[in-house]
Amino acid sequence: MEKLRKKLHKIDNRGYKAYKDLEGTYKVENFFLHIDHIQADPFANPSRIRVEIPNHITKFEKDWYKLKSRKIAFEDFFARELAKIIKSYSINKNGSGKSGLILIDKPGQEILPRTAVKITDQKIEFRLSIGLPARGRKILGNQALKLLCDHIPYIIKKAIFTFDKNALLKHLKLTDQQEAIRKYLDEYGYICFIGNNSILPRKSGISNKPLKNNQVIPFKSPSSLEIEIPIPHSQPIRGMAIPKGITLIVGGGYHGKSTLLKAIERGVYNHISGDGREYVITNPTAFKVRAEDGRRIEKVNISPFINRLPFDKDTTRFSTEDASGSTSQAANIIEALEAGSKVLLIDEDTSATNFMIRDGRMQALVGKEKEPITPFIDKVKQLYKDLRVSTILVIGGSGDYFDVADNIIMMHEYKPKDVTKKAKEISKSFKNIRIAEGGEKFGEITKRIIKQQSFNAYRGRKEKVDAKGLTTIVYGTNNIDLSFLEQLVDPSQTRAIANMIKYLSKKLVDDTTILPILIDKLYEHIEEKGLEVISPYYKKHPGDLALPRKLEFSAAINRLRTLQVK
Ligand code: ADP
Ligand code: MG
């Protein structure tokens, strides 16, 4: 601390650049303050610091973070805790630009592995961003001293010494339960579980928080699909389980179909208590596929769905700079399969109609030889039979799917009803002139090799890979548009993807390895070294990162405008 005081005294009132001298490690009270990066001026991105506290001071119990799932929840808890304390704590921000600012990467509704807090057997470390105080561009040394030696220690001490232990235990226990449900689903052949009394609708189209008013209908499973799962720390939990295979969600418009599917989509992540979806658990490889016209496609074998395009364009290695609705949806499915998805989630609201259905009358008018598209309805069974890939499909507009579905759930006034039997009777008694066009087999999933030269992030003389919010990554002279990846939920995931692309392209791509193997390697590496290994500032403050799924990462690669497949 003396060292820091002296330095600050020396640079007080000097130009902002002199703050650079502060970089280094200091002992403040009984922890370590690492000043890793100093902002260029008061208006630039804030400075990065880490606060490290040895475990003999905090007295955290090993049991709170020993299990991997608990470790993620534990770190998540303290990131939230710190964010809460910072918010309620007012600091003198009389200064220019970001003077006096303190930030931590605050988690949203999901509990994700992130770099904001790190616990090991030796220590806990908090990764913060701060605005070093200035008046105009002159250093305010005394205020900086206060910030670093009073405010930061106060906030940290408040978090580690006065946190609500019951709240932590509740958080950890919920994680245990979520893990237990995941395991159960996996063991017993289910792809998704929605606990009774879950609150599925959200506050608004742009909010991820639960809708709260007296008109919200809590979820209640139909008895035929209800199961009971034993979970730790409480009575068994009951709710609706969707088995592997093909499931339709039908029902009138505005009766809650898409809301149910959205909750299922997000169930690949664990949610915090009070979210309403904390007991909605979905197979972790479930992937929402939708139409995405305008996207680029690079040599994807979409022939299971699309064949005989005009001018004999090859669909076993299909490329385009500007995909149509149906070709984009076909490519999205094939790429998801390539990346290892075992559950496809599809909503008619975001699908290309001609990709989803082609009824008997249209077949009679436009013969198969004139239609390049084999609709999804004719492939969905083979998908399960050949590849063991299940589908959950929202469809209110076509009864043709009754023939191919295993389970049919009707949403009526936000309540699910099992209508499988009735729908099957209808499909028997109404004669359908429709002919199946999908053939016997689904077809091959070609695994592609990515060429090294796909990755060129140069923009002029400088490399540029930068996340902009949740849905855009600036990559060299192009942007990667992620706005149709509906299961990408946190801007810190987007930042991680940007870093991961850089990391992958520098260290792993070799012109002989197929994409899913490259991605596996990257994730094994992350598993071993921690998420921060992808940061250019590894071993310092790594930036605010959260782990994306392999599926979203792979999807980002597929949306690179410069991607080249061998
Ligand atoms: P659909 O896909 O069947 O047309 P949506 O899922 O889009 O219907 O839901 C329509 C509206 O109903 C949305 O505004 C949604 O927030 C609301 N909603 C959905 N589920 C519930 C529920 N359980 N309780 C109250 N409102 C709900
Ligand atoms: Mg809908």
The alpha carbon dihedral of 27, 33, 36, 39 has a sign of: negative
**Closest ligand 1 atom to 414 CA:** 23
Cβ(397) – ligand 1 distance below 6 Å = no
- The predicted pLDDT at position 1 comes to 77
The C-alpha angle 470, 476, 480, rounded to 5 degrees, equals 35
SS3 422: helix
- The predicted pLDDT at position 268 comes to 98
Distance CA 183, CA 559 (A): 32
Residue 431: pLDDT band (50, 70, 90) is confident
**Closest ligand 1 atom to 215 CA:** 25
Cβ(198)–Cβ(263) below 8 Å: yes
Cβ(201) – ligand 1 distance below 6 Å = yes
Cβ(214) – ligand 1 distance below 6 Å = no
191-212 pLDDT, tens digit each: 999 999 999 999 998 999 999 9
Residue 97: pLDDT band (50, 70, 90) is very high
Distance CA 262, CA 64 (A): 31
Ligand nearest to the CA of 410: 1
% pLDDT > 90, the chain = 95
Ligand nearest to the CA of 348: 2
DSSP structure class, residue 132: -
- d(CA 216, ligand 1 centre) in Å: 9
445-471 pLDDT, tens digit each: 988 999 999 999 999 999 999 999 999
- The predicted pLDDT at position 308 comes to 84
Cβ(458) – ligand 1 distance below 6 Å = no
| CA nearest ligand 1 atom 26, residue | 216
Ligand nearest to the CA of 262: 1
- The predicted pLDDT at position 295 comes to 97
Taking all residues of the chain, what is their mean pLDDT, rounded to a whole number?
96
Tokens of 367: 């013969």
**Closest ligand 1 atom to 219 CA:** 23
Cβ(258) – ligand 1 distance below 6 Å = yes
- The predicted pLDDT at position 454 comes to 95
**Closest ligand 1 atom to 256 CA:** 6
Residue partners of 340: CB distance under 8 A and separation at least 6: 285, 516, 550, 551
- d(CA 396, ligand 2 centre) in Å: 8
Residue 154: pLDDT band (50, 70, 90) is very high
% pLDDT > 70, the chain = 100
Distance CA 546, CA 467 (A): 13
Cα 62 to the center of its chain, rounded Å: 28
| CA nearest ligand 1 atom 10, residue | 254
| CA nearest ligand 1 atom 4, residue | 254
Residue 309: pLDDT band (50, 70, 90) is confident
Tell me how far CA of residue 540 lies from CA of 63, 75, 76, 80, 104, in angstroms.
27, 18, 19, 21, 15
Q: Where are the domains of the chain?
A: 2-163, 286-429, 452-558
